[in-house]
Amino acid sequence: MTPDSEQLGTPVQEQAAKTPPKRKAGVPVWRTGKPDAFLAAAVDTARTAVEGITPAATIGPHLAAKSEGDRLVTHLFESRLPGYAGWQWYAVLTRNSRSKVVTVNELGLLPSEDSILAPEWVPWAERVRPEDQQQESEADSPEADSSEAESPETDGSETDSPETEGPAADGQEPAEEARYVTDDAGTQAGA
């Protein structure tokens, strides 16, 4: 055996290989802080990218450039889209290390603290009130169906029926109706 192979099998080295390196408590995995200067200056690139998903008239002034990590910046623009007061258009930009080429990662529309939002969704079982269930059960009852069947239109007590109107009432025979016969070729011919 060589001295190098003997050192690899020592318990201290095996223990070091099993335990991950220690991190300081409270320190995030990525760094945030000042945005990348090159990406923060790329406001026109971000605006052009947002114009790809919405008309230019719906994009307001640039509001901020936030750092999301190393070489990752989010640009925020005021939304002038009708119905979205207080919302913000965003474009996330990134670049490779030592590169001057900006890449657009993501685009969209986000609410801010001042946005009007829909109320929280409540499950149907929690929204239904006892009055709602009572009205529904009354509508489904057989009594409601029988009251509709006794309408004056269907009771048969009318004296003016369609059989007594028209030419037959005057003693004349009704005009013959046109009949259509389909031949083997599938065309229709008048009789």
- DSSP-derived letter for residue 161 is -
Between 33 and 64, the more confident residue is 64
Token pair in block for residue 177: 């109706």
Q: Which of the four pLDDT bands, split at 50, 70 and 90, describes residue 33?
A: low
**Number of domains forming the structure of the chain:** 1
Q: For 153-180, how does the pLDDT look when each residue is reduced to its tens digit (9 = 90+)? A: 555 555 555 555 555 555 666 555 555 5
Contact of 94 with 74, CB cutoff 8 Å: no
Between 124 and 39, the more confident residue is 39
Q: Which of the four pLDDT bands, split at 50, 70 and 90, describes residue 131?
A: confident
User: Is residue 73 classed as helix, strand or coil in its secondary structure?
Assistant: strand
How much is the pTM?
0.49
Between 137 and 145, the more confident residue is 137
Residue with tokens 């913000």: 88
Residue with tokens 């320190």: 27
Whether residue 52 lies inside any domain: the answer is yes
Strand partners, 50: none
Task: State the residue range of the domain holding 126.
Answer: 29-138
* Alpha-carbon gap, residue 191 to 176, rounded angstroms: 11
* Average pLDDT, integer, range 4-14: 48
What's the pLDDT at 13?
Answer: 47
Contact of 96 with 71, CB cutoff 8 Å: yes
What length does the chain have? 191
What's the pLDDT at 102?
Answer: 94
Whether residue 93 lies inside any domain: the answer is yes
* Alpha-carbon gap, residue 75 to 63, rounded angstroms: 8
Whether residue 64 lies inside any domain: the answer is yes
Token pair in block for residue 35: 């945005």
Whether residue 147 lies inside any domain: the answer is no
Residue with tokens 């499950």: 123
Whether residue 40 lies inside any domain: the answer is yes
Q: Which of the four pLDDT bands, split at 50, 70 and 90, describes residue 24?
A: very low
Over pLDDT 90: what percentage of the chain? Answer: 34
Whether residue 164 lies inside any domain: the answer is no
Pair type for strands 103-110 and 180-182: unpaired
Between 17 and 88, the more confident residue is 88
Indicate whether 14 pLDDT > 70.
no
Whether residue 126 lies inside any domain: the answer is yes
Whether residue 7 lies inside any domain: the answer is no
Kindly report the average pLDDT of the chain as a whole number.
73
Among the residue ranges 42-51, 70-79, 129-138, the one predicted with the least confidence is 129-138
